[in-house]
C-alpha cells in the first residue's frame, strides 16, 4: 500500500538520498552524487535555499520500499523581493508509476497551502544555485555535465498530467573546443578590448575576497529585475558558493572583465567532474579517493555555468571576449568540449554569445509551475 511519509531524521534523509540507485540502476548515463556531500547539503550545511525558509522532505513508500521522493519548501527571501506567494519543489524522483508521482505532488501542494502559498514552481536547485535545475526534456543521449539534471523521459508526462505548465526552459549548448576559430576571434576580441578599454583577468585565488566582492557588484547591476525566478545573491551566499566550489575550481576557467578597476563581467567554468563521479558510485571511502585523484587529471570537458555583464558594457563584445579567453585556455589544457548551461530562454544576450562562440543547443531542461 502506497504511503507518503515526512522525513524527520538522518535515517530518513539517507533513504531519500539512496532512492536514485534504484531508479537508475540500469541507466548507463546516470552519474551518482556523493552521498556524504548530499547529506550535508540536505541538512542545511552551507545551503542558502534551505536557510531562506521552511522546508521538508517527503518519501513515497510501498510497504518498506521507497518508490519516490520530493523536497518542498518556501524561499521567503525570493517571495519578499518579488512579492510572490509561491513554494518550490526540488529533487523529485519516482519510479515509473503515475500514482506515486501524483501522491508526492499532492503532499507538496497540501504542505504549501497550509502555509498560505498559492503556487508551486520547480524543480528548482536544492541549494539556490545552478545545480539540478529543471527536468531534462530533450537530450537523453549521454551523461549530464557537472551539476546538471538527469532523469527518465517519463518525468515530463508526470508533471504535465498533473496540471503543471511550463514556467521556463533552460538551455545547454555544446562547445567543440577544437573547432574554435582562434585567429578570427583574436582579431574581433582584441579590437573590442582596445575600443571599449576593458581587459579580461584570470581569477586570483589569493585575492578571493576581492574577487567575490567584484562578482557581487556585477550581479547586482546585471541581473534583470524582470527575472521572476532570481534575485541577486547576498555577499554571504556568494562566499558560501565559492567556498563550496573552490576545491573543484580550475582558475584557468574563471575570468573577470574589468574596465580600469571597475568590474564589468565574469564567467565561471568548472571541469566536468561528472567524468570522475561516474566512477565512484557515490562514495569517496575507502577506495574512492584514489579513483578521484587518478581520474581528475584526465577530465576532458568543462561546464561554463555562470556568466553576466553589466548593462553599460553589453553589446560591446565583453561576453565574447570572456568566452574566447576561457576557450583558448581550455584548449591549451587539453579540454576537448565545453557546455554552456543552464541558460534561461529569456537570456537572449547569453544565448547569442554562446552561439557566437560556436555553441550548439543540444539539451533542454524545463521548470514547471502550477497554481495550488
* pLDDT tens per residue, range 99-120: 999 999 999 999 999 999 999 9
Region 150-154: mean pLDDT is 98
Query: Which spans in the chain are helix H?
Result: 10-23, 35-42, 48-51, 76-82, 98-113, 155-162, 182-196, 208-222, 235-245, 274-277, 288-296, 318-332, 348-356
- Which is more confidently placed, 205 or 369? 369
The residue-averaged pLDDT of 341-357 equals 86
Return the percentage of the chain with pLDDT > 70, whole number.
Answer: 94
State how far the Cα of 318 lies from the Cα of 195, in Å rounded to an integer: 11
pTM beyond cutoff 0.85 = yes
pLDDT class for 226, splitting at 50, 70, 90? Answer: low
pLDDT of residue 293: 65
pLDDT of res. 224:
67
Could you tell me which of 142, 130, 117, 106 has the C-alpha nearest to residue 53?
117
- Exposed e or buried b per residue across 4-14, where buried means at least 16 C-beta atoms within 10 angstroms of its C-beta: beebeeeebbe
Domains of the chain: 2-170 (3.40.630.30), 175-364 (3.40.630.30)
Assess contact for 362 and 142: CB atoms under 8 A: no
**Half-sphere exposure (Cβ direction) of 79: Cα atoms closer than 13 Å:** 19
| Residue 80 CB contacts under 8 Å (≥ 6 apart), including other chains | none
Q: Which residues of 153-190 are buried (b: 16+ CB within 10 A; e: fewer)?
A: eebbebbeebebeebbbbbbbbbebeebeeeebeeebe
What pLDDT does 93 receive?
98
Q: Are 298 and 159 in contact (CB under 8 A)?
A: no
Residue 288 pLDDT > 70: no
Q: In which band, very low, low, confident or very high, does the pLDDT at 213 lie, cut at 50, 70 and 90?
A: very high
The residue whose grid cell reads 536544492 is 126
Mind listing the pLDDT tens digit for each residue in 164-174? 999 999 999 99
Amino acid at each position: 500500500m502506497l504511503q507518503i511519509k515526512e522525513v524527520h531524521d538522518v535515517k530518513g534523509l539517507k533513504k531519500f538520498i539512496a532512492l536514485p540507485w534504484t531508479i537508475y540502476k540500469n541507466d548507463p548515463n546516470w552519474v551518482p552524487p556523493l552521498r556524504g556531500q548530499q547529506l550535508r547539503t540536505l541538512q542545511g550545511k552551507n545551503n542558502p535555499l534551505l536557510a531562506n525558509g521552511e522546508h521538508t522532505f517527503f518519501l513515497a513508500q510501498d510497504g518498506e520500499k521507497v518508490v519516490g521522493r520530493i523536497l518542498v519548501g518556501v524561499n521567503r527571501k525570493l517571495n519578499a523581493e518579488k512579492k510572490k506567494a509561491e513554494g518550490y519543489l526540488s529533487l523529485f524522483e519516482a519510479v515509473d508509476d503515475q500514482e506515486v508521482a501524483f501522491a508526492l505532488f499532492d503532499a507538496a501542494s497540501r504542505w504549501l497551502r497550509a502555509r498560505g502559498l498559492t503556487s508551486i514552481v520547480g524543480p528548482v536547485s536544492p541549494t539556490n544555485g545552478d545545480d539540478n535545475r529543471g527536468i531534462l526534456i530533450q537530450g537523453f543521449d549521454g551523461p549530464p555535465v557537472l551539476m546538471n539534471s538527469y532523469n527518465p523521459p517519463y518525468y515530463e508526462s508526470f508533471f504535465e498530467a498533473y496540471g503543471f505548465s511550463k514556467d521556463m526552459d533552460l538551455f545547454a549548448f555544446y562547445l567543440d573546443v577544437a573547432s574554435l576559430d582562434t585567429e578570427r576571434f583574436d582579431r574581433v576580441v582584441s579590437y573590442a578590448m582596445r575600443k571599449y578599454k576593458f581587459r579580461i583577468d584570470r581569477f586570483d585565488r589569493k585575492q578571493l575576497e576581492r574577487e567575490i566582492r567584484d562578482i557581487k557588484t556585477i550581479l547586482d547591476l546585471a541581473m534583470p529585475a524582470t527575472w521572476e525566478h532570481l534575485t541577486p545573491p547576498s555577499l554571504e551566499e556568494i562566499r558560501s558558493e565559492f567556498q563550496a566550489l573552490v576545491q573543484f575550481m580550475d582558475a584557468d576557467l574563471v575570468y573577470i572583465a574589468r574596465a580600469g578597476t571597475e568590474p564589468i563581467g565574469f564567467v565561471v567554468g568548472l571541469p566536468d567532474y561528472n567524468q570522475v563521479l561516474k566512477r565512484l558510485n557515490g562514495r569517496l571511502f575507502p577506495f574512492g579517493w584514489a579513483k578521484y585523484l587518478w581520474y581528475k587529471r584526465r577530465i576532458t570537458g568543462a561546464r561554463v555555468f555562470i556568466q553576466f555583464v553589466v548593462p553599460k558594457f553589453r553589446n560591446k563584445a565583453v561576453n565574447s571576449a570572456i568566452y574566447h579567453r576561457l576557450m583558448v585556455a581550455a584548449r591549451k589544457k587539453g579540454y576537448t568540449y565545453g557546455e554552456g548551461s543552464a541558460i534561461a530562454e529569456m537570456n537572449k544576450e547569453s544565448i547569442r554569445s554562446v552561439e557566437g562562440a560556436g555553441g550548439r543547443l543540444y539539451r533542454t531542461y524545463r521548470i514547471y509551475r502550477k497554481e495550488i
